[in-house]
Amino acid sequence: MSQHHAARLPLRQVWPDEFVERYRAAGYWRGETMPGFLRERARECADRTALVAGDARYTYAELWQEAERIGAGLLALGLTPGDRVLVQFGNVAEFIPVVCGLFRAGLIPVYTLPAHRLTELVHFARKAEASAYITAARHEGFDHRTLARALRAEVPAVANVIIAGDAEEFTSLAALAGDHQALPDDPDPQSVAFLQISGGSTGLSKLIPRTHDDYIYSFRASNEICGIDRESVYLVALPAAHNFPASSPGWLGALYAGARVVLSPGPGTAQAFPLIEAERVTCVGLVPPLALLWADAAKASSHDLSSLQVMQVGGAKLVPEAARRLKETLDCQLQQVFGMAEGLVNYTRLDDREEIVLQSQGRPISPDDEVLIVDDHGDLVPEGSAGHLLVRGPYTIRGYHNDDGANARSFTDDGFYRTGDVVQRLAGGYLVVQGRATDHINRAGEKISAEEIEDHLLAHPAVFDAAVVSIPDAYLGERSCAFVIARAERPRAVELKRWVRERGLAAFKVPDQVVFVDAFGTTAVGKVSRRELRAHLRERFVTEQQGGE
């Protein structure tokens, strides 16, 4: 129990030796590390602006200095390199310096989303064996100190809580100091740099270990594909902890390039448009519903958006008609991005033919991304047919953190990750996402596991059975709908929604719609799989709705 202060062994993500050699020889893995490149930029780009967030501006030198202060301060509290630290921030000025500080101290950030609540944080803290939680006093009206207290009560191993803003009984981020604290050497490039949260296609979210070598390769190569260089200005409009705005090429790609990162507090045009004008933003990544909103708003806007060169759209499917609408309205290039926190990222290229940009979700970053498209039995489908996407490559994980069950399901014996996506491959390796084989709801880019929500609904005393499915939605792409068979007394829909919220879950997981049914309507409910059952309910519902209109 008292191993807490002993140095932890670095977490590793293991690729077989032959792959390590191959990825090094090809120049993908160069032995760079997060603190290593940040230190270099602080030297090369010392006085250039690295980060703009609210009223705060940091040069590269200042960002590094702040990272050293925070890193040393955390170690002075008793944290040890290798310790895992839950990080939860909205798009505020503290987020990036904190993450850089963790990298500097060899601490491992566990990125949570601002929307996550107690149940999720407890799960992440336990899975990661976290020993600290860093967050803001309040975010969007919610008090994270209260959450911190509840988290510490459930997981006492989270011994340190560090708060940006009024810290109350906790440690204040602003007061961290470690003047005499020795900082460690840069970590092993093949060790795990951070833990990312998976979309959670089955059950609870898994933790995704990404190494310095593999992640840096993904955003360095993304910079090239997305045209990010020192003169670029990258706007983070989606939650900064998400893999898309973090690394595709995201704020990390931008920092790697010596470019400028601008954080928008939210994704709305009222917040983002003035920033685009003021900072001359050149690139932004959005989910499809936002992209469409932005395009509409841009037509009527008095803001000068002429600096914008590339609008990236990803996280959920951009259907061709919507892509065409964007192309017609926007005065900048459209780039489709189909990625996943587990690794593989596909982009349409900036010089691709219009047809490809409208029809496809792009092609992989790396010539060494091995993409297989297989049928239900694992056999390759004929070229051009749709099938399950499997992938292996220089920046795709070989396993989740501390999760043998998920690893047995999600990876093949020879190390391919089963993405759960159903895709079709076009000439040139371009992928078209057709749908998915797992039951999660992709709600405007936020991934929700059907199973996870069903479990929470089933815990309600008045619920006999529940099935959560995705329903096509004109605005969100998909929304969540819970079909519920009640016991004797039917609860009200709002009560079930409140129930889910009060189970300590992110608000985006609360079912958008609750539909009570007397039975699930198949004669063999007990025999079919949950998956078939959900598909059946979805189909019946969508057909009835269309019939009714």
Residues that bind ligand OOB (CB under 6 A): 199, 243-244, 248, 314-317, 336-341, 345, 361, 419, 421, 433, 436, 442, 445, 447
Secondary structure (DSSP) of 194-215: EEEEP--SSSSPPEEEEEHHHH
Q: Are the C-beta atoms of residues 348 and 357 closer than 8 Å to each other? A: yes
Nearer Cβ to ligand OOB (397/466)? 397
Place of tokens 């596991």: 449
Nearer Cβ to ligand OOB (34/391)? 391
Q: How far is the CB of 445 from ligand OOB (least distance, A)?
A: 6
Region of residue 165 (left: phi > 0; alpha: psi -120 to 50; beta: else): left
**DSSP secondary structure letter of residue 2:** G
338-to-31, 335, 444 alpha-carbon distances in Å: 27, 10, 14
DSSP-assigned beta bridge partners for residue 426: none
Q: Are the C-beta atoms of residues 340 and 199 closer than 8 Å to each other? A: yes
Q: How far is the CB of 337 from ligand OOB (least distance, A)?
A: 5
Nearer Cβ to ligand OOB (133/244)? 244
Secondary structure (DSSP) of 287-326: -HHHHHHHHHHHHH--S--TT--EEEEESS---HHHHHHH
Q: How far is the CB of 95 from ligand OOB (least distance, A)?
A: 18
Residue whose Cβ sits closest to ligand OOB: 339
455: three-class secondary structure by DSSP: helix
Nearer Cβ to ligand OOB (200/511)? 200
Nearer Cβ to ligand OOB (45/357)? 357
d(CA 115, CA 111): 12
Strands 233-236 and 310-314 turn out to be unpaired
**DSSP secondary structure letter of residue 267:** S
Nearer Cβ to ligand OOB (121/433)? 433
Q: How far is the CB of 197 from ligand OOB (least distance, A)?
A: 8
Nearer Cβ to ligand OOB (33/419)? 419
Nearer Cβ to ligand OOB (256/499)? 256
Q: How far is the CB of 304 from ligand OOB (least distance, A)?
A: 28
Q: How far is the CB of 114 from ligand OOB (least distance, A)?
A: 15
Q: How far is the CB of 54 from ligand OOB (least distance, A)?
A: 25
Handedness of CA 285, 241, 173, 506 (dihedral sign): positive
Q: What DSSP element (H or E) covers 153? A: helix 144-154
Q: How far is the CB of 9 from ligand OOB (least distance, A)?
A: 27
d(CA 403, CA 407): 6
d(CA 331, CA 209): 38
